[in-house]
Amino acid sequence: MSNPTDLQYTAEHEWIAADGDIAKVGVTAYAADALGDVVYVDLPAVGSTVTAGESCGELESTKSVSDLYSPVTGEVVEVNEAVDADPSLVNSDPFGEGWLFVVKVSATGEVMDAAAYDALVAS
């Protein structure tokens, strides 16, 4: 599976799409597949602060509950209401309509490019 090359990735299987100091965050197709059918999302609240590498929410699937880790530190400025209403978007379109939240970034945690992430999930 090839991941979009215009994104950055974490070892916890989140992706970020940065545009200046604004970053959109989601989980990768690999994570969505491993989770199974996502039935509930618990996203950080708008106005809250998230910290790179720390849990900021949960994804619940028919198989398990998994922590959602923030790849960046900053203030949450938007959450994806569509995913809140229809969590299956995480499975059907993880890099598009299934994005999770947007952060005004003050610091970025450890991230990798698509080639490094592809190598990580292939091992």
pLDDT along the chain (123 residues), means of 10: 90 96 97 95 98 97 94 98 96 97 96 96 89
Main-chain dihedrals φ then ψ at residue 57, nearest 5 degrees? 175, -170
SS3 call for 120: helix
pTM of the model: 0.95
Domain boundaries, the chain: 8-122
Q: Which pLDDT value is given to residue 123? A: 80
Domain covering 8-122: architecture: Beta Barrel (2.40)
H/E run at residue 89: helix 89-92
Cα dihedral: 92, 70, 75, 106 (round 10) = -120
